[in-house]
Amino acid sequence: MRKTFVEKLLLYAKKYPSLMVVTGDLGYSVFEPFMQKFPEKFINAGIAEQNMMGMSAGLALSGKIVFAYSITPFATVRPLEQIRVDICYHNLPVRIIGTGAGLSYGTLGPTHHGTEDLALMRAMPNMAVCAPADKYELAKIMDASMKMKTPLYIRIGRSQEPDVHSFPPPLKIGKGLEVYSKGGDFAIISCGNMVHTALQAAAILFKEGKKGKVISMHTIKPLDSALVLSLAKKMPLFTLEEHSIIGGLGSAVAETLADAGVCPPVFERFALPDAFQKAVGKHEFLRMKNGLTPEAVAKKIIKKL
Amino acid sequence: MHFWPFSRYFRAPQKATYLPYIICMPYYKNYLVGRANLIKLKSPTFYMDRTSVNPLSSHAKEIRRKILKMIHASKSAHIASALSTVELLVSLYFKIMRIDPKNPSMQGRDILIFSKGHGCSALYATLVQRGYENEKILQEFSTDGGKLWGHVTSGSMKGIEATAGSLGHGLPIGLGMALANKKRNVFVLMGDGECDEGSVWEAILFAGHARASNLIAIIDFNKIQSLGNTAEVLDIEPLAEKFRAAKWAAKEVDGHSIPHICAALQKLPFEEGKPSVLIAHTTKGKGISFMENSLAWHYTPPDDKQLEGALGELS
């Protein structure tokens, strides 16, 4: 995913003279080609994220389109007030890229786990929030972002994520994508790096005779509430995300249902608990510990059906 | 006989031959609009207004009057923080900055970011005094349904470049603007208490490193912050040394002397390849005797009697 990210930036640098890329001293083995080709469009702000976001706002106030990059918690939680006041209040075209979605940074520990970013970014006025499932979705979202004049948060994975699509999907910001559709027994609404898990869970359920749908809800804000409500009226609904149970995709879907007074036959949110990770482990191990493997998700869904 | 006004007209400049020609120009214009103005030409106050009184300091006085009235009417806080910035704002908006009040978004204009957002009444009054907006807008300050918040908010008034209020945001934004367009100067007016914020020091380090020589920080060093004297709460001295250590060029100045401020900012940057900082030593509540150097006036608005007394001091 990060490779696609930098490839896209190289293309934009030629096409858009106003492009600027800012990093908080991160992106080893990602940014090198960009730094070499476009040094005047690249700022390494050092390990100083508050200044990085303030500076990005200043660049955007002067007509630049800015991509500001760091590891998820350092791109969101650390400079939150700069995002709120400097970027969102001025409603500026700054694209905040948080890498290492959810528990991607595994053994590096809870300081590096990005588990509250969607909740925080959703709460920022003017901010749109995206979590692409694979490199194809990321490329489409980045393309769309170059035409947006408002703030955008993009949560990306680390590297080597499996692809969900085999070719670029017809993606529109704010419209969910149906990535799997075999029937109406259930629907899993997922985002980011969990869409692949949702597909695997759906495959397991298919073997058990349960035919359902998987939605890649790559845009968490503004949420595609029309799609959520139409599914909720017809079938059991589940949400799946690698984010705290508070404030993420599941919360957004639940809010939509509650506001519309629509009650699906079954509704459950699969997410991380409201807690820091205690057990040390790699990404897959931590997913297993938190019940976010395809098998665990499929088992819980069967129980509910 | 009917030629007499013309003879007066030609005599008038002779009476004041010490005046440069440009200053005499209004005589000619005044003559053309009628005889009443000829009488005005003879009045001693007319000569005084044009010569002996420094017009910039009269702007400062008028801005102080506006601040007092705004804060009194809205019963809001931070009057003393506004009063300490007045001469700095006058020097910048009337002398130093390349701006056009008739075209606030002029390409390549100089920028001022008023980072100590709580002192915003001074900025609002200065922008009105400079001709960005009609004076009426000041009645919208900190009032229900009004347009002007109690901290600087962009979009609320022509000439405001960035929102500020939470401290320590202006310098990073100003740094970004300075890097984006190196052909203009970006001034950031900050408080001394504001320098407690970590984000300020992140920006100081990076600006020095990036040689952002079109960035000029101006510190309104009035020595008092929210809960006490700066020296006692969190001593930031020696401030100039700290900036210099971070590869900035620093100057110190009497922050209430317009000639000194203008002289200090005449040549920018202070040193080639370095951002500049002007540490302006100021008095909190400057200009109103009973508000000077008093913590209480960080919070209290003047009552009717105090307003009268304060306006009296400015007359």
What's the whole-number average pLDDT of chain A? 96
Distance from CA of B199 to the nearest CA of A (A): 6
DSSP-assigned letters across all residues of A130-146: E--SSHHHHHHHHHHHT
| pLDDT value for B23 | 52
How does residue B11 score in pLDDT terms, banded at 50, 70 and 90?
Answer: very low
Report domain extents, chain A: 2-156, 177-304
Which residue is closest to A78 within chain B, CA to CA? Answer: B199
Considering CB atoms only, which of B154, B169, B205 is closest to A82?
B169
CATH architecture of B55-298: 3-Layer(aba) Sandwich (3.40)
Interchain contact, A55 vs B199, CB within 8 Å:
no
Interface residue A289 vs chain B (CB under 8 A): no
Interface residue A108 vs chain B (CB under 8 A): no
Q: Under DSSP, is residue A237 helix (H, G, I), strand (E, B) or coil?
A: strand
Contacts of A108 (CB under 8 A, 6+ apart): none
Q: Name the percent of chain B lying above pLDDT 70.
A: 83
| pLDDT value for B12 | 45
Across the range B171-199, mean pLDDT stands at: 98
A 10 A CB-CB count for B171 gives 31
Is the per-residue pLDDT at B18 higher than 50? no
Interface residue A57 vs chain B (CB under 8 A): yes
pLDDT tens for each residue of B245-272 = 999 999 999 999 999 999 999 999 999 9
Q: Return the percent helix, strand and coil in chain A, to nearest 5.
A: 45, 20, 35
How does residue B301 score in pLDDT terms, banded at 50, 70 and 90?
Answer: very high
Which of B194, B202, B209, B247 should we substitute to test contact with A (largest number of A Cβ atoms within 10 Å)? B202
Is the per-residue pLDDT at B96 higher than 80? yes
Partners of residue A64 in chain B, C-beta under 8 Å: 180
| pLDDT value for A20 | 98
Interchain contact, B176 vs A50, CB within 8 Å:
no
φ, ψ at A113 (rounded to 5°): -80, 130
Across the range B231-242, mean pLDDT stands at: 97
| Assigned token pair, A26 | 């991160």
Interchain contact, A55 vs B203, CB within 8 Å:
yes
What's the whole-number average pLDDT of chain B? 88
| Cα B136 from Cα B122, distance rounded (Å) | 15
Is the per-residue pLDDT at B16 higher than 70? no
Considering CB atoms only, which of A58, A86, A89 is closest to B180?
A58
Partners of residue B169 in chain A, C-beta under 8 Å: 54, 81-82, 85-86
CATH number of A2-156: 3.40.50.970
Contacts of B118 (CB under 8 A, 6+ apart): B77, B78, B81, B150, B151, B165
φ, ψ at B235 (rounded to 5°): -70, 120
Which residue is closest to A82 within chain B, CA to CA? Answer: B169
Interchain contact, A59 vs B179, CB within 8 Å:
yes
| Residue of higher predicted confidence among B142 and B25 | B142
ipTM over 0.85 threshold: yes
Question: In what side-by-side order are the strands of the sheet with A267-272?
Answer: A177-181, A213-216, A187-190, A237-244, A267-272
How does residue B315 score in pLDDT terms, banded at 50, 70 and 90?
Answer: confident
| Assigned token pair, A207 | 């073997």
Across the range B287-311, mean pLDDT stands at: 96
| pLDDT value for A159 | 77
| pLDDT value for B13 | 44
A 10 A CB-CB count for A249 gives 28
How does residue A257 score in pLDDT terms, banded at 50, 70 and 90?
Answer: very high
CA distances from B183 to A87, B178, B214, B250 (A): 24, 8, 8, 21
**Residues in chain B whose beta carbon is closer than 8 A to a beta carbon of chain A?**
153-154, 161-163, 165-166, 168-169, 171-181, 198-199, 202-203, 205-206, 209-210
A2-156 and A177-304 agree in CATH topology? yes
Contacts of B204 (CB under 8 A, 6+ apart): B171, B217, B242, B243, B246, B248
Interchain contact, B202 vs A50, CB within 8 Å:
yes
Across the range B186-204, mean pLDDT stands at: 98
Number of residues in chain A = 305
Interface residue A17 vs chain B (CB under 8 A): no
Is the per-residue pLDDT at B24 higher than 50? no
Interchain contact, A54 vs B171, CB within 8 Å:
yes
| Assigned token pair, B176 | 């970004």
Interchain contact, A59 vs B180, CB within 8 Å:
yes
Interchain contact, B177 vs A59, CB within 8 Å:
yes
Partners of residue B108 in chain A, C-beta under 8 Å: none
Distance from CA of A222 to the nearest CA of B (A): 25
CATH fold label, A177-304: Rossmann fold (3.40.50)
Cβ atoms of B118 and B165 closer than 8 Å: yes
Considering CB atoms only, which of B165, B173, B209 is closest to A61?
B173
Interchain contact, A85 vs B174, CB within 8 Å:
no
Q: Which residue type sits at B131?
A: G
| Cα A302 from Cα B157, distance rounded (Å) | 59
| pLDDT value for B32 | 43
How many helices and strands, by DSSP H and E, does chain B display?
14, 7
Considering CB atoms only, which of A45, A63, A85 is closest to B169?
A85
Which residue is closest to B164 within chain A, CA to CA? Answer: A85
pLDDT tens for each residue of A117-173 = 999 999 999 999 999 999 999 999 999 999 999 999 999 998 778 999 999 999 999
Cβ atoms of B67 and B122 closer than 8 Å: yes
Question: Nearest Cα to B121, choosing from B93, B86, B159?
Answer: B86
Is the per-residue pLDDT at A113 higher than 80? yes
Is the per-residue pLDDT at B62 higher than 60? yes
pLDDT tens for each residue of A28-84 = 999 999 999 999 999 999 999 999 999 999 999 999 999 999 999 999 999 999 999
Asked whether the CA dihedral B95, B96, B98, B103 is positive or negative, the reply is: negative
| Cα A101 from Cα B104, distance rounded (Å) | 42
